[in-house]
Amino acid sequence: MSEQHSKARHRRGRKALAVGVPLALTAAGTLAYGTDLGLLGERAQHKASAATTATPAWATATADGFASVNSLGQDGTYGGRDGQIVTVKTQADLEKYATAAEPYVIVVAGTITMNPVGKEIKVQSDKTIVGAGTSGHIVGGGFFLGQGVHNVVIRNLTIRDAYQGIWNDKDHDFDAIQMDGAHHVWIDHNDLRHMADGLIDVRKDSTNVTVSWNKLSQNNKTFGIGWTENVVTDITIHHNWIRETEQRNPSTDNAAHAHLYNNFLEDVAGTDIKSSYGNYSRGRTAMVLENSYFQGMNNPVTKDSTATLVQRGNVFSGTSGRNESGGTAFDPKAYYSYTPNSAASVPSLLKSGAGPRSSIGTTGSAASTKAATTLTVAKDGSGQYSTVQAAVNAVPANNASRVVIAVKPGTYRGTVKVPSNKPHVTVQGTGGSRKDTVIVYSNAAGTPKPGGGTYGTGGSATVAVEADDFQARNLTISNDFDEKANQNLSGHQAVALRTAADRVFLDGVIVSGDQDTLLVDTAAKDKLGRVYMTHSYVVGNVDFIFGRASAVIDRSVITLKKRWDGTSGGYVTAPSTAADRKGILIANSTINGDVSDRSFYLGRNWHAGGDASLDPQTTVRNSTLSAAVRTTPWSDMGGFSWKDDRFAEYKNSGAGAGSASSERPQLTDAQAGGQEVADWLGDWTPTAS
């Protein structure tokens, strides 16, 4: 990529969690969807009223939060993972398998209307009950988990409409999910609404419960915890969207440890349902409440004088009444690992990510419902293939299911191309570090091709990804082109990784080069191309994150590198975004390196081929900037003024951060609310597979 002109190219033991979303999630987050442990494999499968289903990938996941903690003889929560898989469409079949003594994965593949109204099926231990896509509905009833029931997962279901016409109904105790003395329960990605009593009741010393990524709405009593004088319950509540509910949002009574984070409590203006209170720490509860978003709630946070409640990082918009805290509570990280999203991102994150998802269960994409094939690569001959490209070549054309290329530690010198007709490929290093497995080559734009001509920028890539739904993790992708030794070449742009596809997930990788390290492109100018990079490193000096894709660099480190001659100076980003697309978003990350102070721009506007219709975009937010960043961090390119395009910052910190000016645009809070990670990703939730 030329520097001088427009580019004419385009209490219990602590247990660590593996990264999953989302998430959520989170998270992805984070991460937030739990850890896929692999599918159940070939086994005899029972039949219910319909044919058996292939194993839903998420049906084998394990819980995060307190449900992941090893206690009471149960190490984590994974439901019916070790049992047989059945698909049910009738109440009789659902009840048959849910109440059985054996473990089962029960896939609900239609609407089941409970008879009599209000019936709660008595679920037994070691069960996963998961909706098939968005088709799994339980109408007019729910589930009950009694004393000692444990290791239960309820996911991706809609449970609704037991309401009997009386708002504060004392006569019909019809809950969506009730537990009395259960433990190790995970309630995830459900839509719970319009019941006669509670949506979720966690009662009578139930413990080791995680409630995540649910939509809770249209109800009086939302979520009650307690009904005991004992201080026993450990519960994690994260990434839930609670809206149009009146009370118990949740109400937490005598909980030993209640950890609430990244929830969105919304009292919708103009409706008949008014909130009386939000999160409530009652009795002797110890509560930690962080990075949640409260919109329009009355009495958003309340506590009894006997309870403790620690608040941090929450956002309150249009709220009124009690907002309380006090005491020291506890440190959730003493029990499990987690990484909360910023509170400002929560509304958009949950609006797009909470509730049942079409990609869970049997009606999701084929790639999510079939067991992954694994191909092994090893330089020493111990794998099926000795090069990564040979393994890619072995992937069937137009493959419908995930293929994991497991690459053993070593340095693999050569180029790799994943063509557009080979989607659902994961390339994963198997070493203990992302540095153990390295794919590297040294082509540059001006390098002569064997058949004549030169490679050009895109053609110089060490790894080129043209297939959708690609993932890479735990490895290094590098271009080690030696600029100093090749001053005679016409082009020094040397790409390490080029993506020209949609839904590219880069997790725990290093992408390293000098000029034009990471090219995030699309398959065509009118095509959407989304890239999500997290927990990774990008190393370079000139325009080293560039292209027209909608790309997110999240929770990563961007390392600035000196030029071949020892000088400092360069540009982090060079977006060439279409006017109706999102460009490059750097969020929750760090930009630093062993370079001179005030020598690097955050970006410049690339109107590829002189195309005036483009509207390049880079946003850098909630990130730490070293002193290497210039005080005027944006630059013109190719005769186009960056001020006519989309360049901005939001709440950055560090020596390289600066206040708002005409040379340094800063987003308002309202603008930042529309420039979150979820806004970039849309209906795609990156999930490790």
DSSP per position, 295-317: ES-BS-EEE-TT-EEEEES-EEE
**If you average pLDDT over residues 560-577, what whole number do you get?**
97
CB atoms within 10 A of CB 669: 11
Asked if the model's pLDDT at residue 304 lies above 90, the reply is yes
Residue 371 scores a pLDDT above 60: no
User: How far apart, in whole angstroms, are the C-alpha atoms of residue 91 and residue 345?
Assistant: 39
Q: Cβ(495)–Cβ(461) under 8 Å?
A: yes
Mean pLDDT of 18-37: 26
Q: Identify whether the C-beta of residue 392 lies closer than 8 Å to the C-beta of residue 422.
A: yes
How many percent of the chain have pLDDT more than 90?
Answer: 79
Give the pLDDT of residue 71.
95
**Is residue 10 over pLDDT 90?**
no
What is the average pLDDT value for the chain, to the nearest integer?
A: 88
| Alpha-helical regions (H) of 443-580 | 456-459
Is residue 328's pLDDT more than 50? yes
What would the mean pLDDT of 154-158 be, rounded to a whole number?
95
DSSP H or E run through 91: helix 91-98
pLDDT of the residue at 353: 86
Cβ neighbourhood burial of 384 (10 Å; 0-12, 13-18, 19+): middle
Q: What is the pLDDT of residue 292?
A: 97
Q: Which DSSP string corresponds to 506-536?
A: EEEEEEE-SBS-EEEE-SSTTS--EEEEES-
Q: What mean pLDDT comes out for the span 554-566?
A: 96
Residue at token pair 């002569």 = 448
Strands (E), 267-420: 279-282, 286-290, 293-295, 301-303, 308-312, 315-317, 373-377, 403-407, 410-413, 416-418
Which of these ranges, 49-63, 122-136, 570-584, 609-623, has the smallest mean pLDDT? 49-63
Return d(Cα 131, Cα 156) in angstroms, integer.
Answer: 5
Q: What is the mean pLDDT of residues 446-453?
A: 93
Which residue pairs from 662-670 have beta carbons closer than 8 angstroms and sit at least 24 positions apart in sequence?
663/631, 663/632, 663/634, 664/631, 664/632, 664/633, 664/634, 667/619, 667/621, 669/344
Please determine, for residue 70, whether its predicted confidence score (pLDDT) is greater than 80: yes
Taking a C-beta distance cutoff of 8 angstroms, is the pair 95, 121 a contact?
yes
Output the pLDDT for position 359.
61
User: What is the rounded average pLDDT of the residues 159-170?
Assistant: 85
Residue 18: the pLDDT is: 27
Radius of gyration of the chain (CA): 26
Contact assessment for residue 545 and residue 521, using Cβ atoms and an 8 Å cutoff: no
Residues marked active site are found at 516, 543
Q: How confident is the model at residue 650 (pLDDT cuts 50, 70, 90)?
A: very high
By the 8 A CB rule, do 200 and 176 touch? yes
Residue 453: name the closest of 483, 489, 417 by CA.
489
The one-letter amino acid at 594:
D
Rounded Cα gap, residues 396 and 400, in angstroms: 9
Residue 39 has pLDDT above 60, yes or no: no
d(CA 310, CA 64): 21
- Tokens found for residue 681: 């990703």
pLDDT tier at 58, thresholds 50, 70, 90: low
Q: Phi/psi of residue 393, each to 5°?
A: -60, -25
- pLDDT beyond 50 at 50: no
Stretch 10-37: mean pLDDT: 28
Mean pLDDT for 427-432 is 94
pLDDT at 17: 27
Give percent above pLDDT 70 in the chain: 89
> Residues with Cβ < 8 Å from 641, sequence gap 6 or more?
605
Show the tokens assigned to 213. Answer: 């990524």
* Average pLDDT of the segment spanning 15-33: 27
More confident residue, 594 or 134: 594
pLDDT at 352 over 60: yes
* Residues facing residue 604 across a β-bridge: 635
Residue with tokens 């520097």: 3
CB atoms within 10 A of CB 73: 8
In b/e form, how buried is each residue of 591-622, taking b as 16+ CB within 10 angstroms? bbbebeebbbbbbbbbbbeeeeebbbbbbbbb
**Residue 253 and residue 307: Cα distance in Å, rounded?**
9
Predicted pLDDT at 1? 57
Q: Give mean pLDDT, residues 272-295.
A: 96
Does residue 667 carry a pLDDT above 80?
yes
Question: What are the backbone angles phi and psi of residue 127, rounded to the nearest 5°?
Answer: -130, 140
411: pLDDT strictly greater than 80: yes
